[in-house]
Structures are given as C-alpha cells and as structure tokens.
Amino acid sequence: MLASLNHVSLNFGPHEVLKDVTWALEEGECWGLIGRNGAGKSTIFKLLLGQLEADKGTVVRPTKERGIRMGHYAQDLVPETGGSILEETLAAFGDVEKLQHEMRDLEHRMSEADADLDAVMTRYQDVTEAFERFDGFSIRARAESILQALGFPQDQFERPVGALSGGQKSRVMLAKAVLQGQDLLLLDEPTNHLDLPSLRWLEDFVAESTATVVVISHDRYFLDKIATSILEIEMGKSRAYEGNYSEFMDKKEQELELAERHFDRQQDYIKKQEEYIRRNIAGQNTKQARGRRTHLAKLDRIANPLRDRRKVKFSFPETVRGGDVALVLENASVGWDGKPLYKPLEQLQVSRGQKLGIVGLNGTGKSTLLKAIAGEIAFITGQSRLGSQVKLGYFDQHHKNLDPRNNVFQQIHAVNPRALKQDVMGFLAKFSFRGDDVEKPVTALSGGERARLSIATLIRDGVNLLLLDEPTNHMDIPSMEAMEDTILSFSGAVVVVTHDRYLLGRVAESLLRIHGGLAEFREGGYEDNQDWVDLDLAADEPDEDTGPNPPTASTKARTSIPAGPRASGPVPQASPKARPLDKEAQKAFKRLERKAGEAEAKVDELEGKIATLSSQMAAMDPNDWQAFSAKLDEQKQLESELAYTMSAWEEAQGALEQSQG
C-alpha cells in the first residue's frame, strides 16, 4: 500500500470540509478523484503531501523515507529555480545532478599524475553505482522526451522559465511531476493548459504507466480513457467505485433511483402512521396510537437523497416554431484587419433542431465566427442568413445578457414580468436553481451558475437558435452535465464551440472543423470523426472507395463515451455488414447468449423474491417495526442486486445484438 486515509475528518474553522474519508492507494492503480467545486478534492492531496493535518482519523503518507518516488502537479505550483526549462524540470533530481558533477570531477582527477588512483577509482565506482540506482543516465533523456510531448521543441529547452507564460509554466511543472512520479503521481487538473496532441500523449502515458496515478479532473473524456476506479467526494464523505467515469455514472444513477424509492416508501409509511395516531390518540385505540408514536420516534429516518444529482428529463419547446432551415452561411469567412482566417465556406445549412459542433485549435476563428453570426462583428466575406421565424440567442463566455442588479429569480422574471411566481420557480428548477438559490444575487454566482442562468435567460426569451461559445468553461462536472442536458432538451437548433470532447460526444450530431486555413463540414458526432477532430492527420486520408466524406456509423448525439481498460486503444467501430461467423465467433456468440440468458433468469428470480417480500410486508403488523425494518433492509438489498443484474443483462443483450450485425 502506497498511501491511505482512514476515517479522516478535517475542519477549516467552523466549516467541515471532510467528514469521513477512507481510501487506500495500491500499486498500479489509476484513480479519478471527483466531486463538486469545494468538495475537498485538493484538500485530500494536501493531506497526503503533509501540507495539512487531519482533525480525526489517520493518514499514511507516501514519503521518500518509505522509498516512494512521488510526483505532484497543481496549477498553483511555482518554479523552484530561475534557470532554464530543462533545469527546472530536472530540479527535483538535485542529488542526481550532484552525483553527475562528482563523476565528472573524479574523471578529471583520474587523469592527474598526483592523484591517489585507487581511492579515486573506488569513489568513482560508488558514485557511478548510486547514479545508476537513481536512473541518472536516463533522466535527462526522459525529461527532454516529456517536454517535447508537452509542446516544447528542443531549441526552447534553454529558455528561462521566468520568461514563460502562465500556461507554459504549468506545462513545465507537469513535466517535472511526471518525471518524478515513478511510483505515485498526483495530478490536480492536469489537462487545463494542454492542446490536443499533448492531451492525447498524457492519456497514453497514464494508461501505460506502471505508477499509481490519481487525477483530479473535470475532463470526463480524459477520466473515461485513463481511470480504472473513481473516488467521489460528496458532502464530505468518500465512496469508491470500480470502472471509469461513465461506469461510475451508471452505478450512481442506479443507487440514486434505489435511494429515492426507499425514501419515498418510508415517507408513505410515516404518513400512514401519523394519520393513524392523529385519528386514534384520543379514542379507544389510544394505546396502539401511543405505541406507534413511540416507534416513529425511534425510527431510523432515511435521508432525502440528492435529487439534483439525478438526470431530470425535461424539454424546452420552441416558443415560435421556426422554418426547416435555421441558419445559412454563404461564402462566409471571418478574421481581423480585413484578413480572413480561413478560405470562405461556400455554403453551410443548419436545420431546425440540428446540433452542430465547431472544433479546431485556439486562434483558428471559431469564436470569431459565432460573433459574426450574432452580428457583433462583420464577416470578411459572405454573410449569414436566419431562417423563417428564427430568433437567435448568443451565449458568450462573459454572460453579457445577465443584469448584475438582479438576483436569479428577478433575472428570469424580467423576461416576462406577467409570469406567475410558480411558473418562474418551475422553470428555474430545470436549471438546478431551487430553494434559496433563486434569491442569490447575480454577482454572487459561481462561473457555472452564471452560465446556467445565462442560457436559461436566452431560452426563456423564446430563442430557437442558440450560439454557444465554450458553455462548460470553468464548471464542475455536475454543472457540465446540467448544461449538456439543457442543450439536449432544447428543441431548437444549436451551434456550439467547445474543446470539451465529452460534451461533443453527447450533443453534436454534425461538425465543422476549422484547421489549416480551411472550414470543413462532416456529418456525425465526435466518435464518428475522432481522428479528424483530434487532428490525427495521418489517419485523415480518405479511402479510395469511400471518398472524402465516408458514411458515418451514426448521426445521432452520443449519450456516453466508451473507454476500455487502463491501456485502452481506439474504440472499435461496428461493421456496416454482418460477416459470416467463424468457429471462434460462434463460440463467442454462444457465450454471450448463455450470459444473457443467465442474467435474464436472475432478473426473473429477483423480481419474484421482491414481489413475495412486498406481499409479506403488506400483511405485517405495522406495530412490529423491528421486523418491518428487517424486511425493508432485505428488500433494499434485493433491489440493489436487481439493478446491477439488469445492467449486466442489458450489456450482454447489447453485445449479443452487435455480434449479430
């Protein structure tokens, strides 16, 4: 075991950050550490690093004294040296550098006539062995390789760290951490300053690393690619899950469904008992009523589950139905000072209800194109046209449509002052503004809350074409998911600029890539065009048979992004035609068929047990709460087992259908 936290609690003054966190880090694992902003994720790293002390519980730290080689990256780290990029990267290996200097000194002394050759040779052998133990011969080469992978060409290695931008310094500190973390690597938001090639290198590095890796990240696609386990911090407590982020979300959703079911069932029971007590406390059955009141007082109440974590199904119908065409671009290009950033796009048509993603590197003109469509700047060439009855709403990263004088309720109510309070409250609830949240001033909202309120204002205003510029920037994962659900629930057309690959995978059904002075359109979502979007240009040449725009597997938005085990590779695509099954394929088909059959039988068995148990509970004496509680626990266990069995059956059935073509 490299490190652990055992029932750890920590307070910052009166604020309880961690209530009960238990976690063990074993060799070869890769963890995604997730939770809302402020949940305590970075605090856990600080406990492991010895920067904070727990108020309760025990912490086993991954120290150098225990022989653990650990690397740590955070965005607020500052360089140790005033030297070059390479010197800063190697600064953590000062002992190795000293050994190397001593080796060079001893080599010079060997050539001197008056040297005590035996003593010098003996010392040289000791120093060389120590240098080898620290991998001294490979560290510099590894450092240079990592720096190049993170976007630093070799001719920049001697550039002073002090002359770098903030993002460049962060990449140097990341290279340094990766070099150090040969046993354990703690990474806090490592993807924020990486371009796509560097990001894909980091994904591959983590997937293939033999070190234990822990990543705090809001990049769900990255977590899907690298994580083999997820640790969630929620309300100060920890919960570990096997699998990547998408698998965690499936299990979490099932747990929340069960928790709500048990909560609702207990609430129904409590209401019936309270009604019985109210009717009989002063009557002939007063003894029984008092007994039930005593049982209720001793009842272990199930906590109300966090309903805002559940996927809420809702839709935003168009206030005014637009025509079949929402937007047309004709011979359009944008740029600055009269110079276009790319060749004019001859024609692009966005249909009503279409979700179009715009992708490309920074500075290629993605956000500039949205501003031109919104009428904030002029096109260099060409124009855009809105379809019949189309009302455009522009979501910019600064949320200019929010009035800082308003609170949340006032912001939405101002769109339609005649609306009833209940209507406004119901509308805000769809954007996760509930209870006291609706009274928050706009100026006090977090970045994610401001983004949600901004898009809520646009939709409330009746737009049926949304232009979204990086809508999930600076959000935690729950806020990202709420934004994605909003986009998917919007029945109008959406044009979204984003670097968030998970968002692209969920919502985009067609793509416009701006790269190399060209703006090119393709049908299909992110998974259908992953190499094309990620600028894996070696894989971008079309096959002779398929032409420049081959048919895609699907033009629908993805609801999940599959990722394999730690050393995951490209996601295999389904063949458009069924192939004859060979003997191995037939065996695999039969195994899947048997697995699906076994799971289906297990589902029937569990449903039968639950039905029998429900009948028994209905016939029980409600005064015997102890027995009823035991049955309730048994039912909860069966329903939990049923949920996981249903998931296994659906997985097997899906694989079976896929194998049939």
What pLDDT digit, counting tens, does each position of 444-487 carry?
A: 988 778 888 998 999 899 899 999 998 887 778 888 888 888 88
Give the model's pLDDT for residue 585. 60
- pLDDT bin (cut points 50, 70, 90) of residue 584 is low
Mean pLDDT is highest, among 215-224, 541-550, 604-613, for 215-224
What mean pLDDT do residues 625-647 have? 69
Class level of CATH domain 325-539: alpha beta
Q: Is the predicted pLDDT of residue 330 greater than 50, yes or no?
A: yes
CA angle (83 as vertex; 78, 86 as ends), nearest 5: 90
Is the distance from CB of 179 to CB of 143 less than 8 angstroms? yes
> Hey, what amino acid is at 226?
I
Strand order in the sheet with 381-386: 345-351, 325-333, 381-386
- pLDDT bin (cut points 50, 70, 90) of residue 417 is very high
Is the distance from CB of 59 to CB of 5 less than 8 angstroms? yes
513 three-class SS: strand
| β partners of residue 229 | 31, 242
Distance CA 614, CA 626 (A): 16
Question: What's the distance, Cα to Cα, between the start and end of the chain in Å?
Answer: 45
Tokens of 444: 């006090």
Alpha helices in 349-419 (DSSP H): 366-373, 408-413
CB atoms within 10 A of CB 580: 6
Q: Is the predicted pLDDT of residue 309 greater than 70, yes or no?
A: no
Mean pLDDT is highest, among 107-111, 255-259, 443-447, 502-506, for 502-506
Q: Is the predicted pLDDT of residue 305 greater than 60, yes or no?
A: yes
Distance CA 479, CA 37 (A): 10
Distance CA 605, CA 599 (A): 10
- pLDDT bin (cut points 50, 70, 90) of residue 424 is very high
Give the model's pLDDT for residue 538. 41
- Our CA dihedral for 326, 332, 338, 341, rounded to 10 degrees, sits at 100
Give the model's pLDDT for residue 660. 57
Distance CA 591, CA 593 (A): 5
Q: Which fold has domain 3-96+134-248?
A: Rossmann fold (3.40.50)
Weakest mean pLDDT among 169-173, 412-416, 637-641:
637-641
- pLDDT bin (cut points 50, 70, 90) of residue 369 is very high
What mean pLDDT do residues 71-87 have? 87
Give the model's pLDDT for residue 405. 94
Mean pLDDT is highest, among 148-152, 353-357, 552-556, for 353-357
Q: Is the predicted pLDDT of residue 565 greater than 50, yes or no?
A: no
What are the structural domain ranges in the chain?
3-96+134-248, 250-309, 325-539, 583-659
Which has more confidence, 512 or 137?
A: 512
Share of the chain above pLDDT 70, in %: 82
Task: Kindly report the average pLDDT of the chain as a whole number.
Answer: 82
Give the model's pLDDT for residue 228. 94
DSSP assigned state of 302: P
What mean pLDDT do residues 65-78 have? 89
Which has more confidence, 139 or 656?
A: 139
What mean pLDDT do residues 199-209 have? 90
Mean pLDDT is highest, among 69-78, 87-96, 254-263, for 69-78
The residue among 609, 659, 661, 654 whose CA lies nearest residue 636 is: 609
Which has more confidence, 198 or 553?
A: 198
Distance CA 521, CA 495 (A): 13
| β partners of residue 345 | 332
> Hey, what amino acid is at 290?
R
Same fold across 3-96+134-248 and 325-539 = yes
Specify the long-range contacts of residues 191-200, CB closer than 8 Å, at least 24 apart. 191/217, 191/219, 191/222, 192/75, 193/166, 193/167, 193/168, 194/150, 194/151, 195/151, 195/361, 195/362, 196/361, 196/534, 196/535, 197/151, 197/535, 198/149, 198/150, 198/151, 198/171, 200/534
Give the model's pLDDT for residue 632. 67
